[in-house]
């Protein structure tokens, strides 16, 4: 039975990437050696690392005054490294609180200085992106989490600010076009749209060092990794190689523009099915819905476990919502084919037919269609 992989992370990767990566474990590129045994100082890996950096720059349009780093420790390490390098003792950093991951970043920042939470969506269960807030120009930086995997919300436009902007883009980097020049630093755990867990991508201005007066431990100093080209210590060779293959796949399949168009189409397909279905409802406010993680609940809570069991039986993997919020979550990362989303939509519709009844589904859809036709006719009369 075919598996439909909707896991939130580690997430689905392209089949061709998995195939080439698995082959490299036995023998890498005719070298008569496994990729796992090549030297991280050797010419083979230096080529992988340099070409990966360049592909990141080319795909995202990263300016020359930025560097691309491949680090370890996940986004969770960046929660600490960002304030360690950017927030002076006694100074203030601003954060926008949009959920669990933003909260974790805020907690770490408080070890290094003052934190001003300029806005939060906690009042409504993190189901929207705050938009009405003021950012003090005395803050040393503003930190945002661009996509929230747990709650299914996403910044569709970054804040307009004159202070340095830092972004955790772990779950939507490479899924949509961005302007890297708007940020001083971007970080992302690889395990969504880039590669396996174990490597973290950082895009940072080259002058990020020496912004604070404190001494910083060598491994936690961005300048160390800029100076050493991401190879101060032994880098995660295999994880970076899988990123290298994924970047090639992105480049060869239309780049970020093509990914963004497909991701929007996938999200629209699934949200439309959820919205018209009387058995289910979306969680996030419609204007702030994520293109990467669609969250929804069932209107009969007693059926949640049954729905998940049936989904597993039909090959749908990873639909269970995060343990902190429950419900369901379908992650629509780059490598997920749109056919998988269509299949999920059919399954959701079939579940409704089974439990609500065919007439209760068809009749509302019929009247919705009539309203659309009437609106279209009235609109054409107005335009004339």
Judge whether 289 and 155 are in contact, CB under 8 Å: no
Choosing from 168, 184, 221, 288, which is the catalytic residue? 168
By CB atoms closer than 10 A (0-12, 13-18, 19+), residue 112 is buried
The DSSP annotation for 90-123 comes to T-EEEEEE-SHHHHHHHHHHTTTSEEEEEEE-GG
> Is-catalytic flag, 168?
yes
Distance between CA 59 and CA 318 in Å, rounded? 29
Q: Which among 67, 97, 184, 192 is annotated as catalytic? A: 192
- Residue 97 catalytic? no
Q: Are 171 and 177 in contact (CB under 8 A)?
A: no
Residues in the chain: 384
Query: How far is CA 271 from each of CA 124, 146, 175, 250, 275, rounded to the nearest angstrom?
Result: 20, 20, 18, 25, 6
Q: How crowded is residue 187: how many other Cβ atoms within 10 Å of its Cβ?
A: 25
Q: Is the link from the previous residue into 10 a cis peptide, with omega within 30 of 0?
A: yes
- Enumerate the β-bridge partners of residue 166: 143, 185
Pick from 142, 143, 146, 173: nearest CA to 157: 146
**Angle at CA of residue 187, ends 182 and 190, nearest 5°:** 135
Q: Which entry of 101, 172, 266, 288 is annotated as an active-site residue?
A: 101
CA 99 to CA 373: how far, in whole Å?
40
Note the Cα 152 to chain centre separation in Å. Answer: 10
Q: Which among 270, 252, 288, 281 is positioned nearest to 332, based on CA atoms?
A: 270
Catalytic residues: 101, 168, 192
């Amino acid at each position: 039975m075919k598996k439909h992989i909707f896991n939130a992370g580690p997430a689905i990767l392209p089949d061709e990437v998995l195939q080439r990566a698995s082959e490299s474990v036995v023998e890498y590129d005719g070298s008569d050696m496994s990729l796992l045994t090549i030297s991280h100082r050797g010419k083979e890996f230096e080529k992988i690392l340099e070409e990966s950096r360049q592909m990141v720059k080319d795909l995202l349009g990263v300016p020359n005054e930025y560097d691309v780093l491949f680090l370890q420790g996940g986004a969770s390490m960046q929660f600490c490294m960002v304030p360690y390098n950017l927030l002076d003792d006694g100074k203030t950093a601003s954060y926008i609180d949009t959920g669990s991951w933003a909260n974790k970043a805020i907690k770490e920042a408080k070890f290094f200085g003052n934190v001003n939470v300029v806005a939060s969506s906690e009042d409504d269960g993190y189901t929207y992106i705050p938009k009405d807030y003021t950012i003090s120009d005395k803050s040393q930086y503003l930190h945002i989490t661009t996509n929230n995997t747990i709650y299914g919300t996403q910044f569709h436009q970054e804040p307009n600010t004159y202070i340095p902007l830092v972004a955790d883009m772990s779950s939507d980097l490479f899924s949509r076009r961005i302007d890297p020049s708007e940020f001083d630093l971007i970080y992302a755990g690889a395990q969504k749209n880039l590669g396996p867990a174990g490597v973290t991508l950082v895009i940072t201005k080259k002058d990020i060092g020496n912004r604070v007066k404190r001494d910083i431990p060598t491994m936690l100093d961005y300048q160390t990794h800029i100076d050493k080209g991401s190879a101060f210590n032994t880098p995660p060779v295999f994880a970076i190689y899988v990123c290298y293959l994924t970047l090639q796949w992105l480049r060869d399949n239309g780049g970020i523009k093509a990914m963004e168009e497909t991701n929007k189409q996938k999200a629209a397909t699934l949200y439309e099915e959820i919205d018209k279905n009387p058995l289910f409802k979306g969680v996030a406010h419609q204007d702030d819905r994520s293109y990467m993680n669609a969250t929804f609940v069932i209107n009969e809570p007693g059926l949640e476990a049954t729905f998940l069991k049936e989904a597993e039986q039909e090959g749908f993997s990873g639909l269970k919502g995060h343990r902190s919020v429950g419900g369901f979550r379908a992650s629509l990362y780059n490598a997920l084919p749109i056919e998988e989303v269509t299949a999920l939509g059919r399954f959701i519709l079939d579940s409704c037919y089974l439990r609500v009844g065919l007439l209760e589904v068809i009749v509302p859809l019929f009247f919705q269609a009539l309203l659309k036709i009437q609106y279209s006719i009235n609109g054409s009369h107005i335009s004339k």
